[in-house]
Amino acid sequence: MTDYLDAVIVEHNPTNKKIDRAVIWLHGLGASGHDFEPVVPQLGLADNMAVRFIFPHATKRAVTVNGGMVMPAWYDILEMSLERKIDVAQIEESAQQINDLISREVERGVSPEHIVIAGFSQGGAVAYHVALGYPKRLAGLMTLSTYLATNDNIDYSAANKDMPILIEHGSHDPVVPVVLGEQAQQLLSDKGYNVAYHTYPMAHQVCMPQIQAIGTWLNAVLA
Protein backbone atom coordinates (compact mmCIF):
# COMPACT_ATOMS: atom_id res chain seq x y z
CA MET A 1 0.00 0.00 0.00
CA THR A 2 1.40 3.40 -1.01
CA ASP A 3 2.20 5.78 1.81
CA TYR A 4 1.17 9.16 0.35
CA LEU A 5 2.48 12.51 1.53
CA ASP A 6 0.07 14.45 3.72
CA ALA A 7 -1.42 17.30 1.71
CA VAL A 8 -3.82 20.22 1.87
CA ILE A 9 -6.66 19.69 -0.63
CA VAL A 10 -8.61 22.62 -2.10
CA GLU A 11 -11.30 22.06 -4.73
CA HIS A 12 -12.48 24.66 -7.23
CA ASN A 13 -15.80 23.28 -8.40
CA PRO A 14 -18.58 25.94 -8.56
CA THR A 15 -20.99 23.71 -10.51
CA ASN A 16 -20.36 20.57 -8.45
CA LYS A 17 -19.15 18.49 -11.39
CA LYS A 18 -17.00 15.38 -11.14
CA ILE A 19 -13.43 16.56 -10.54
CA ASP A 20 -11.49 15.95 -13.76
CA ARG A 21 -8.54 18.35 -13.44
CA ALA A 22 -5.74 18.54 -10.86
CA VAL A 23 -2.86 20.81 -9.88
CA ILE A 24 -0.11 19.41 -7.65
CA TRP A 25 1.71 22.45 -6.20
CA LEU A 26 4.88 22.12 -4.09
CA HIS A 27 5.90 24.66 -1.45
CA GLY A 28 9.36 26.07 -0.73
CA LEU A 29 11.97 25.23 1.89
CA GLY A 30 10.75 25.37 5.49
CA ALA A 31 7.16 26.06 4.46
CA SER A 32 4.10 23.79 4.21
CA GLY A 33 1.23 22.86 1.94
CA HIS A 34 -0.78 25.67 3.51
CA ASP A 35 1.48 28.28 1.86
CA PHE A 36 -0.38 28.50 -1.45
CA GLU A 37 -3.79 27.40 -0.17
CA PRO A 38 -5.12 31.03 -0.04
CA VAL A 39 -4.13 31.60 -3.68
CA VAL A 40 -6.80 29.32 -5.19
CA PRO A 41 -9.77 31.71 -4.83
CA GLN A 42 -7.65 34.53 -6.28
CA LEU A 43 -6.79 32.73 -9.53
CA GLY A 44 -10.02 33.56 -11.34
CA LEU A 45 -10.52 30.03 -12.60
CA ALA A 46 -13.40 29.38 -15.00
CA ASP A 47 -16.69 28.52 -13.28
CA ASN A 48 -17.18 25.43 -15.44
CA MET A 49 -13.84 23.96 -14.36
CA ALA A 50 -13.65 21.25 -11.68
CA VAL A 51 -10.09 21.27 -10.32
CA ARG A 52 -8.55 19.60 -7.29
CA PHE A 53 -5.49 21.43 -5.92
CA ILE A 54 -3.10 19.19 -3.97
CA PHE A 55 -0.57 21.04 -1.80
CA PRO A 56 1.66 18.33 -0.28
CA HIS A 57 3.76 18.81 2.86
CA ALA A 58 7.46 17.98 2.37
CA THR A 59 9.17 15.52 4.68
CA LYS A 60 11.16 17.08 7.55
CA ARG A 61 14.91 16.66 7.15
CA ALA A 62 18.19 18.29 8.16
CA VAL A 63 19.29 21.11 5.84
CA THR A 64 23.05 21.60 5.72
CA VAL A 65 23.07 25.29 4.66
CA ASN A 66 20.75 26.07 7.58
CA GLY A 67 23.19 24.66 10.12
CA GLY A 68 21.68 21.18 9.97
CA MET A 69 18.33 22.44 11.26
CA VAL A 70 15.46 20.01 10.69
CA MET A 71 12.60 21.53 8.67
CA PRO A 72 10.18 20.66 5.87
CA ALA A 73 12.45 20.21 2.85
CA TRP A 74 12.20 18.37 -0.45
CA TYR A 75 15.97 17.80 -0.38
CA ASP A 76 19.13 18.88 1.43
CA ILE A 77 21.04 21.90 0.12
CA LEU A 78 24.72 21.31 0.75
CA GLU A 79 26.09 24.60 -0.58
CA MET A 80 24.48 27.95 -1.54
CA SER A 81 26.75 28.60 -4.50
CA LEU A 82 25.09 29.77 -7.71
CA GLU A 83 25.24 26.15 -8.92
CA ARG A 84 23.48 24.99 -5.73
CA LYS A 85 25.18 21.78 -4.54
CA ILE A 86 22.26 19.55 -3.51
CA ASP A 87 21.38 16.00 -2.52
CA VAL A 88 20.18 14.58 -5.85
CA ALA A 89 19.07 11.26 -4.32
CA GLN A 90 16.67 13.19 -2.05
CA ILE A 91 15.24 15.11 -5.04
CA GLU A 92 14.63 11.77 -6.75
CA GLU A 93 12.98 10.42 -3.60
CA SER A 94 10.70 13.47 -3.38
CA ALA A 95 9.95 13.20 -7.10
CA GLN A 96 8.78 9.63 -6.57
CA GLN A 97 6.43 10.82 -3.82
CA ILE A 98 4.94 13.33 -6.28
CA ASN A 99 4.66 10.62 -8.93
CA ASP A 100 2.65 8.63 -6.39
CA LEU A 101 0.29 11.61 -5.97
CA ILE A 102 -0.13 11.77 -9.76
CA SER A 103 -0.98 8.06 -9.77
CA ARG A 104 -3.59 8.64 -7.06
CA GLU A 105 -5.24 11.38 -9.14
CA VAL A 106 -5.29 9.07 -12.16
CA GLU A 107 -6.96 6.39 -10.03
CA ARG A 108 -9.57 9.01 -9.05
CA GLY A 109 -10.36 9.60 -12.72
CA VAL A 110 -8.12 12.53 -13.65
CA SER A 111 -6.18 11.90 -16.88
CA PRO A 112 -2.46 12.79 -16.80
CA GLU A 113 -3.04 15.32 -19.62
CA HIS A 114 -5.30 17.21 -17.21
CA ILE A 115 -2.71 17.42 -14.40
CA VAL A 116 -0.42 20.41 -13.85
CA ILE A 117 2.77 20.07 -11.78
CA ALA A 118 3.80 23.30 -10.04
CA GLY A 119 6.36 24.35 -7.48
CA PHE A 120 7.88 27.34 -5.72
CA SER A 121 11.62 27.55 -4.96
CA GLN A 122 12.75 24.12 -3.70
CA GLY A 123 9.38 22.72 -4.74
CA GLY A 124 9.98 24.03 -8.25
CA ALA A 125 13.23 22.08 -8.55
CA VAL A 126 11.29 18.90 -7.76
CA ALA A 127 8.48 19.93 -10.13
CA TYR A 128 11.02 20.19 -12.96
CA HIS A 129 12.35 16.71 -12.17
CA VAL A 130 8.86 15.17 -12.04
CA ALA A 131 7.24 16.77 -15.08
CA LEU A 132 10.16 16.68 -17.51
CA GLY A 133 10.69 12.98 -16.84
CA TYR A 134 7.03 11.89 -16.60
CA PRO A 135 6.29 9.17 -19.20
CA LYS A 136 2.79 10.42 -20.17
CA ARG A 137 1.64 13.80 -21.44
CA LEU A 138 0.83 16.28 -18.65
CA ALA A 139 -1.24 19.48 -18.88
CA GLY A 140 1.68 21.71 -17.96
CA LEU A 141 4.59 22.59 -15.70
CA MET A 142 4.74 25.78 -13.65
CA THR A 143 7.90 26.76 -11.78
CA LEU A 144 8.12 29.84 -9.56
CA SER A 145 11.31 31.49 -8.23
CA THR A 146 13.32 28.33 -8.72
CA TYR A 147 16.08 26.62 -10.71
CA LEU A 148 16.58 23.48 -12.78
CA ALA A 149 18.74 21.51 -10.36
CA THR A 150 18.88 18.08 -12.00
CA ASN A 151 19.33 18.60 -15.74
CA ASP A 152 22.03 15.90 -15.85
CA ASN A 153 19.84 13.43 -13.93
CA ILE A 154 16.48 13.83 -15.71
CA ASP A 155 15.44 11.16 -18.20
CA TYR A 156 13.67 13.68 -20.46
CA SER A 157 10.37 12.24 -21.67
CA ALA A 158 9.37 12.57 -25.32
CA ALA A 159 5.71 12.51 -24.20
CA ASN A 160 6.08 15.98 -22.65
CA LYS A 161 8.16 17.64 -25.36
CA ASP A 162 5.22 19.91 -26.27
CA MET A 163 3.98 20.44 -22.69
CA PRO A 164 3.39 24.14 -21.86
CA ILE A 165 5.96 25.39 -19.35
CA LEU A 166 5.53 28.59 -17.33
CA ILE A 167 8.62 29.95 -15.55
CA GLU A 168 8.16 33.01 -13.29
CA HIS A 169 10.71 34.82 -11.16
CA GLY A 170 11.21 37.94 -9.08
CA SER A 171 13.74 40.30 -10.64
CA HIS A 172 15.01 41.25 -7.13
CA ASP A 173 15.13 37.71 -5.69
CA PRO A 174 17.98 37.52 -3.11
CA VAL A 175 17.44 33.80 -2.41
CA VAL A 176 17.29 32.29 -5.90
CA PRO A 177 18.92 34.84 -8.25
CA VAL A 178 16.89 35.63 -11.36
CA VAL A 179 19.78 34.40 -13.53
CA LEU A 180 18.87 30.85 -12.45
CA GLY A 181 15.36 31.27 -13.83
CA GLU A 182 16.85 32.63 -17.05
CA GLN A 183 19.23 29.66 -17.27
CA ALA A 184 16.35 27.19 -16.95
CA GLN A 185 14.35 29.04 -19.61
CA GLN A 186 17.32 29.06 -21.99
CA LEU A 187 18.20 25.41 -21.42
CA LEU A 188 14.63 24.21 -22.01
CA SER A 189 14.09 26.50 -25.01
CA ASP A 190 17.30 25.13 -26.53
CA LYS A 191 15.85 21.63 -26.07
CA GLY A 192 12.76 22.70 -28.02
CA TYR A 193 10.27 23.11 -25.16
CA ASN A 194 7.40 25.61 -25.28
CA VAL A 195 8.47 27.97 -22.46
CA ALA A 196 6.78 31.17 -21.32
CA TYR A 197 9.06 33.22 -19.05
CA HIS A 198 7.97 36.21 -16.96
CA THR A 199 9.65 38.30 -14.29
CA TYR A 200 8.04 40.59 -11.72
CA PRO A 201 9.59 43.44 -9.70
CA MET A 202 9.61 41.46 -6.44
CA ALA A 203 11.87 39.43 -4.15
CA HIS A 204 11.48 35.70 -3.27
CA GLN A 205 7.69 35.73 -3.17
CA VAL A 206 4.56 35.93 -5.30
CA CYS A 207 2.52 39.03 -6.13
CA MET A 208 -1.07 39.69 -7.18
CA PRO A 209 -0.41 40.48 -10.88
CA GLN A 210 1.52 37.20 -11.04
CA ILE A 211 -1.30 35.25 -9.37
CA GLN A 212 -3.74 36.64 -11.95
CA ALA A 213 -1.37 35.65 -14.77
CA ILE A 214 -1.05 32.15 -13.29
CA GLY A 215 -4.84 31.88 -13.25
CA THR A 216 -5.03 32.86 -16.93
CA TRP A 217 -2.39 30.26 -17.78
CA LEU A 218 -4.16 27.53 -15.76
CA ASN A 219 -7.45 28.32 -17.47
CA ALA A 220 -5.70 27.81 -20.83
CA VAL A 221 -3.75 24.63 -20.11
CA LEU A 222 -6.57 22.93 -18.17
CA ALA A 223 -9.31 23.88 -20.67
Among the listed residues 57, 172, 198, 204, the single catalytic one is 204
Residues whose CB falls within 8 Å of the CB of residue 87, separated by 6 or more in sequence, listed in order: 75, 76, 77, 78
Query: Long-range CB contacts (< 8 A, 24+ apart) of 84-91?
Result: 84/147, 84/149, 84/180, 86/125, 86/149, 88/149, 88/150, 88/153, 90/61, 91/125, 91/126, 91/129, 91/149, 91/150, 91/153
Q: Does residue 20 carry a catalytic annotation?
A: no
Among the listed residues 12, 76, 121, 169, the single catalytic one is 121
Among the listed residues 35, 76, 87, 173, the single catalytic one is 173
Q: Does residue 204 carry a catalytic annotation?
A: yes
Q: Does residue 100 carry a catalytic annotation?
A: no
From the list 34, 91, 90, the residue with the least C-alpha distance to 57 is 34
List residues with catalytic annotation. Answer: 121, 173, 204
